[in-house]
C-alpha cells in the first residue's frame, strides 16, 4: 500500500499508531464500493478504534504488540 500524508510514513511515529492506521486503511479499502464502506467498513473500523482505545485505557503494553 502506498500512503502519503499520514503518520504511517513518519519515522518517529510509534509502531502502535502505524499498525492501527494500516489496519484501518485495509478495513476500509477491503470494501468493494461506497455502500459497503457505509454498511460494513464503518462498523469494522469503529470496532478497531474501540479496541485500540480499550488497550490504551487499560494500560495494556502497546509498545510491541499488534492490535
Domain annotation covers residue 16? no
Residue 50's pLDDT is 96
Residue 2 backbone phi and psi in degrees, to 5: -100, 125
Residue 64's pLDDT is 59
Q: What single DSSP character describes residue 58?
A: T
Q: What is the pLDDT of residues 26-54, one digit of tens each?
A: 999 999 999 999 989 999 999 999 999 99
CB 63 within 8 A of CB 15: yes
The number of domains in the chain is 1
Residue 14's pLDDT is 87
Domain annotation covers residue 37? yes
* Structural domain containing residue 51: 32-58
Domain annotation covers residue 43? yes
Tell me how far apart the alpha carbons of residues 11 and 8 are, in angstroms, rounded to a whole number.
8
Reading the block at residue 36, the C-alpha cell is 459497503
Domain annotation covers residue 48? yes
Provide the 10 A C-beta neighbour count for residue 41: 19
Q: What is the pLDDT of residues 1-22, one digit of tens each?
A: 677 777 777 888 888 888 999 9
Domain annotation covers residue 41? yes
Domain annotation covers residue 36? yes
Amino acid at each position: 500500500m502506498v500512503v502519503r500524508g499520514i503518520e504511517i510514513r513518519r519515522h518517529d511515529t510509534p509502531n502502535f499508531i502505524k499498525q492501527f492506521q494500516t489496519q484501518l486503511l485495509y478495513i476500509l479499502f477491503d470494501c468493494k464500493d461506497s455502500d459497503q464502506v457505509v454498511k460494513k467498513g464503518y462498523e469494522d473500523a469503529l470496532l478497531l478504534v474501540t479496541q485500540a482505545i480499550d488497550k490504551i485505557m487499560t494500560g495494556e503494553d502497546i509498545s510491541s504488540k499488534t492490535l
